[in-house]
Amino acid sequence: MKHLIYRLRFSTSVHFGRGMLSESAFCFSADTLFSAFYIEALKLGREEELYSAVKSGALCFSDAFPFLRERYFLPKPMFYVESKAPGDSKEKKRFKKIQYIPAELLEDFFRGELHAEHCDLGELGEESSQMRAAVSRSGDDTRPYCVGDFFFREGNGLYLIFALESNREEKLIEILFQSLSYSGIGGKRSSGKGRFSYERRELSEELQDAMMREGKRYMLLCSALPREVELESALEGASYLLQKRSGFILSENFSPEQQKKRDLYTFRSGSCFRHRFQGVVYLVNEGGAHPVYRYARGLFLGVGG
């Protein structure tokens, strides 16, 4: 498999779901990208090509992770290591809250030598909120509501790691990224949020080695769920967190009325396993004009521990 990085630089603020409309995360999951890709593929008549590529494993990709200029961050591994630093309760509390660590310091984490100050993302951007007004069609009073968003500072943004089987998959994602960059990704796109430019980069030698490494542990890089036949093996010696993936179907052509996707519980990125698994793409709709899928294939990084 060929591995590539795609960096997204946002020209507008973004709104990525975090449970409350008044809040916004600064990253998004692989299944969010797949859903956005699928909607663009429907417009271009290439939805079957996209679905076949991810179903067969010819195309896999990670969650979106932050980068600060030329520094890439990965999810903090869900694996306990004893810190070699002197006991400091404030440092331990700070480190516990950290979600992402610099990619080049991943091995320092497993040696217990990583400090919270090394993982500071304070320069990434700013979170803010905007007041909006909901106008009732029935003549009721206008109701104000708050929308949270995040704006990346210049030089910063999000990146994704792609695993591609051939040039065919590479050409497909180039087409889909080009279309999606104008549509935007995330919520409140009708307000102009989520617009971006993108660039392709090669993986660093360290990251490329880790993607191919046979290690004692494998860290999950995306929200994913094993197939039923893989579940027992995947859970053996694993350290993980589950998350509920839900949401509404955003395709304008699916149904006259907005409908929800079926809920699915997946492992969070950063979960660590002794055995890799493939995962699957789940059908999460009932009825409608076209299928709606939840991307839940696995992509892993070989790590210590």
CB 68 within 8 A of CB 38: no
Going along the chain, which residue ranges are E strands?
2-10, 59-61, 65-68, 71-75, 100-102, 125-134, 143-152, 156-164, 196-202, 217-220, 242-245, 264-267, 272-273, 279-283, 293-297, 300-303
For the cut 60, the answer to whether the pLDDT of residue 305 exceeds it is no
pLDDT digits (tens, 9 = 90+) for 124-144: 999 876 655 554 455 555 566
Q: Sorting pLDDT into bands at 50, 70 and 90, what band is 50?
A: very high
Q: Cα(10)–Cα(8) distance, rounded to whole angstroms? A: 6
Question: What is the predicted pLDDT for the residue at 85?
Answer: 64
CB 185 within 8 A of CB 17: no
Stretch (H or E) spanning 248 = none
Amino acid present at 156: N
Query: If you average pLDDT over residues 251-261, what whole number do you get?
Result: 64
Residues contacting residue 53 through CB under 8 Å, at least 6 positions apart: 59, 165, 168, 169, 172
Report CA torsion sign: 241, 7, 48, 278.
Answer: negative
Query: If you average pLDDT over residues 214-219, what whole number do you get?
Result: 86
For the cut 80, the answer to whether the pLDDT of residue 230 exceeds it is yes
For the cut 80, the answer to whether the pLDDT of residue 261 exceeds it is no
Q: Sorting pLDDT into bands at 50, 70 and 90, what band is 249?
A: low
The most confident of the ranges 50-64, 83-97, 104-118, 138-152 is: 50-64
Percentage of the chain lying above the pLDDT 90 cut? 52
Question: What is the predicted pLDDT for the residue at 96?
Answer: 81
Q: Cα(301)–Cα(298) distance, rounded to whole angstroms? A: 10
Question: What is the predicted pLDDT for the residue at 154?
Answer: 94
For the cut 80, the answer to whether the pLDDT of residue 44 exceeds it is yes
pLDDT digits (tens, 9 = 90+) for 181-210: 999 998 777 777 889 999 999 988 888 888
Domain that holds residue 255: 2-303
Q: What Rg value do the Cα atoms of the chain yield, rounded?
A: 20
Query: If you average pLDDT over residues 280-285, what whole number do you get?
Result: 82
Question: What is the predicted pLDDT for the residue at 29?
Answer: 93
Q: Sorting pLDDT into bands at 50, 70 and 90, what band is 263?
A: confident
For the cut 60, the answer to whether the pLDDT of residue 149 exceeds it is yes
pLDDT digits (tens, 9 = 90+) for 62-82: 999 999 999 999 999 998 877
**Token reading at 215:** 């290690």
Structural domains of the chain, count: 1
Query: If you average pLDDT over residues 256-282, what whole number do you get?
Result: 86
CA angle 157, 159, 162 (to 5 degrees): 165
Question: What is the predicted pLDDT for the residue at 135?
Answer: 46
Question: What is the predicted pLDDT for the residue at 145?
Answer: 56
For the cut 90, the answer to whether the pLDDT of residue 170 exceeds it is yes
Indicate the range of 3-17, 79-93, 186-200 predicted with least confidence: 79-93
Query: If you average pLDDT over residues 168-177, what whole number do you get?
Result: 96
Question: What is the predicted pLDDT for the residue at 225?
Answer: 94
